[in-house]
Structure 1
Amino acid sequence: MSPHSDKPRGAHADKRTLRRTFLAVRNTLPVGDVRKTELALAERAFEVEELVRARTVAAYVSLGGEPGTAPLLDALRARGTRVLLPVLLDDNDLDWGVYEGPSSLVEVQHPGRIALLEPGGERLGPDAVLAADVVLLPGLAVDARGMRLGRGGGSYDRVLARLESAGAHPALVVLLYDDEVIAHVPAEPHDKAVHAVVTPSGARRFL
């Protein structure tokens, strides 16, 4: 994997290049490797002290070659943690619902997108994330400063802006594969550093 561009062309363009690189690698991962990774992540995640203490965690349901979240969601719920999962809105913002186990998820086909697994119960509203002690963020890479490379849809930029506007300060944690922790992620003014990354080999703090 070669995540570095030859010459900076602006953060936005460099992010597109990096996204293509990391997505291409994820698309080749065997299903068995993804399954092994998700079990390791469910153990390593509790090396982050805030996750151990959290009463409410805003998480997400992984898809395809993403580092798997299913065992972690169930481990959190088994500990008595309230787990919130996102519901994608038409404007790319996120509503939230409570995770009540695998059977509570429904497959939703959003126009022009892949089908997503979302909580099938009550919608709590976009501001429900403000109650979270920890927010688990999807991503493609993170660097030594804690700068996260997202997928580019903008949904989590809205979540982070909402948290900042409300003065909420949950721990921000990104779940990745080991080789997605890299030297540098191009950053734009609105980008926020995460507090920690969890990979199959362990957790690392930044803030």
Structure 2
Amino acid sequence: MIYPNELLPQSDYKLIDFESLDCLSDLIVLCRQTKDSNFIAFDSDNSEIIKSEYISIETDHLRDFSTNLFGIFNENHFGIEWSKNAKTDGMFDNWEENNEIVNPVFEEHFYINPKKSAFFLKLNDFQNKFIPNDQNDEILSKVIHTPCNCNFWHFSIRWLINGIDSSELPKTKRRSVLSIARTQISLSGQSEPADFNILDSKCYQK
């Protein structure tokens, strides 16, 4: 099996900046891969929510919440699973323009797990959005393009608390804030993507 070329950074690509008005859209969707499709629960109003354990096992992992931009990265790619060799061989290193890209090799770097699935998040629910809370804090979520050598479409959701990145907070405070972030993801997640647009190529091509 050949690794999907459409996921790899290309020589004419550039970082995607969602602060740019040219790249904003109400119909941009992120997806979060899961181990299987059993991630939906229902709240007291019988509304879909994402099960907590499918968001993140460790609360601290939420400070840099890994997602993919849905569109070119799609359901055909949900089953990709990575081996330990992928990290050792630099597949997860941050991509920078002019990086030499090496194609991941099937069974050496990745394999396919057909049980894997994904849930979906609307970009507009997390890009520069303040999260309501009872702690009198300003909790701001931001979506940042964090491509790696094996996946140009990787994005991170990060959290600023009163202007400070959650990773810089004391442990107790950080976990309290990230628990609020987990709830926000749970309430916002969807089992199917709403109407969505594939990002205009002018937003990522030079």
Q: Tell me the TM-score normalized by structure 1.
A: 0.26
Under a length normalisation based on structure 2, what TM-score does the superposition of the two structures give? 0.26
Considering only CA atoms, is the larger Rg found in Structure 1 or Structure 2?
A: 2
Q: Which has the higher helix share?
A: 1
